[in-house]
Amino acid sequence: MSDDPKTLVSTAWLAQHLKDPDLRVLDASLYLPEAGRDARAEYDAAHIPGARFFDIDDVSDSRSELPHMAPPVEKFMSRLRAMGIGDGHQVVVYDGAGLLSAARVWWLFRLMGQTDVAVLDGGFPKWQAEGHEVEDMPPVVRDRHMTVRFQNHLVRDVTQVAAASKLGDHAIVDARAAARFRGEAPEPREGLRKGHVPGSRNVPYTDLLNPDKTMKDPAACRVVFEAAGVDLAKPIITTCGSGVTAAILALALERIGHHQWSLYDGSWAEWGMFPTVSVATGEA
């Protein structure tokens, strides 16, 4: 793969740059309850040297009833400052699943106007499989100021997505598994209707990954989007279950050079319970 410190870097790149004074590494692992995994405990037991733990559920909007919505700017700044991450740092985010939740944190940084951030391709499993160093010690953290410039165009709410669905002026792309998209499989959260946003297309995030959980190269990713009927000439809104795997689609779009994308933060956790918006089932 071609390393890009603004989107995706390889384990070889990270191993080469791990001692750079302005590099900061984040473990952003997050699992659904049914996975039976404790992200914080796994981080405490072993992580990439110097990595800080980024708790997606904590660095979120606690005022919202929806899961891990983007936090207010002030909260993001204070949490990152406490992690010793700020202006002038190159950030690399990874997770323990290979490539799952790390992209969500990449998007959060982008939303806050920070562009020197990349996802570790293949994540912690690939790092460990290759025999790279790990540690169980917490890093030494020094405060660092972060300047935030919120990027409104990278996030969408239910009203904006409903308008896009009705007007057809955006392509809406859903990262959930095909059975959930079609309304054939139950939703993991109680009380949600089954189906998808009318007019949306389905690109399960797993279709963009190789067997080792690295991301397919840009040309292959483009083929996946086109095969799913996504109109790449339009601005794209990505969505999923709760705004996590939608960021994998956003990362892939950025990699293929499609920069007019945004993420529906509430995703199906919101749309599926919103009484005034319609739901489609079956194929797109």
Residues with catalytic roles: 240
- Pair 253, 261: CB distance under 8 Å: yes
In the numeric block, which tokens belong to residue 111?
A: 């939303």
